[in-house]
Amino acid sequence: MTSVAVTIIGNDRPGIIQDVAEVATQHEANWLESQMANLAGQFAGIVHLDVPPSQAEALKAALEALAKEGLQVNAVTATASEHSMREITLQLMGQDSPGIVRDIATALSSIGVSIAELETDTQSGSMSGETMFKAEARLQLPDGLTLNDIDEKLETVSNDLMVDIVLNESDVS
């Protein structure tokens, strides 16, 4: 089987997922995993499909043809990493301010940590009414890096940003 990663972006409307699923089914593709969301009225999604090698190019072309429906679609042959990395989770909470994601991502990248998944949100603080920033991430660590190493690297950043960060061993494989 050939793995195909598909990204889809466009004005949100009913039927986007149905359109993608129909194309996948027509090309004998198996829908393995996906993440999709409506953000600010825009649909954004990523889908991982497995398809018979003889159908891969036709599948990618058919998916990209969904641009006629007002979608931006990019379908590429995916290659899985052969190196399995240890994963941990990061939870962050603090007063919202510009640059939080950049500063945390920079600190993590500088020590070889990859952000495999990131979900962020803002909410009103319960007492103060100030906007609070919340993030949850799944991180992939290079060999030899410990939670303590990451904690030390993030300590200065979290103090500067005035955010709380909690790191935990992950059960994700």
**pLDDT of 11-65, one tens digit each?**
999 999 999 999 999 999 999 999 999 999 999 999 999 999 999 999 999 999 9
| Domains, the chain, ordered by start | 2-77 (3.30.70.260), 86-169 (3.30.70.260)
**Structure tokens given for 9:** 């972006």
The predicted-structure confidence for 61-78, as pLDDT tens digits, reads as follows 999 999 998 999 999 998
Helix ranges restricted to H, 65-146 = 100-110
The predicted model scores a pTM of 0.77
Closest among 3, 169, 172 to 81, alpha carbons compared: 3
